Structure 1
Amino acid sequence: MFLSDKHRRAFEAANRIMADPIDPIYIIFKSLDKIDPVIATWRYLHHYRGKLGENPRAFNTAMKDFYENPDVKSYLRANKVDHALVDLVLKLQDRKMAWDYYEDPERIFGSKRLFEIPAHVAREAIEGIPLFLGNDQ
């Protein structure tokens, strides 16, 4: 109702694309939407490193659904999304690997061959974006 004609047309074009589940743009946006919560779990581990109280493993246990959600991998594979992204999800959904990252990030990112995508790209997605907009506290 409050959109200009230009913004209304853009909104309608986006809705047309998102209404077609086989459109490559739809597939990549949906893939990123599915991957984001998995990366966010690692972002929490990064942000709250050393601040999770007396039983920090409780957080990792509470995030069970993010580690065990098979829908993410299934969607990526069914839509033939790049294998490197599937590999990234497989690694990020590994609870032990996430805990190793919490304890010592170099245990994960010190291994240059761990991810099929460059490790610095995965690390930037986790550590390079503030958890909270405006400040990172």
Structure 2
Amino acid sequence: MYLPQPRQRQGIEENILPMINVVFLLLIFFMIAGAMYKQDAFAVDPPATRHAAEGEPVAMVVAVAADGRLSLDGDLVDEPALLARVREWHRAHPDEILRIKADGRLPADDLMALLERLRGTGVPEVRLLTLHEPGR
């Protein structure tokens, strides 16, 4: 008479190890993906708007803090360096649109003065980035 051999039960460790490996790889992936995103040099609270344009690729972003500090693509800069880099960027990318991310508490006069100086660099269009708040 033939009696089948009893199957050996796999230990719980053998079932959990592949799951631990996958979780570890996902953790590494998200740590690397999160590090690739360039943070702003300071916190900016943009003004709100009712009308929002659909997402467009962002080429260059100038951030302006409420106290007037300037940042270009996440790097703190002074105004002469900002204008020089924007002029240089515009020569290389004449069809691109410059984006401004200004703090909502920044005085409008200061923002308008900066926009005038940026217009002097030859950039054809500057867009002010805002938060979309429907029904406001």
| TM-score scaled by length of structure 1 | 0.25
Q: Where is the strand percentage greater, Structure 1 or Structure 2?
A: 2
Q: Where is the helix percentage greater, Structure 1 or Structure 2?
A: 1
Of the two, which has the highest radius of gyration?
2
Ranked by relative contact order (alpha carbons within 8 Å, sequence separation 6 or more), the top structure is 2
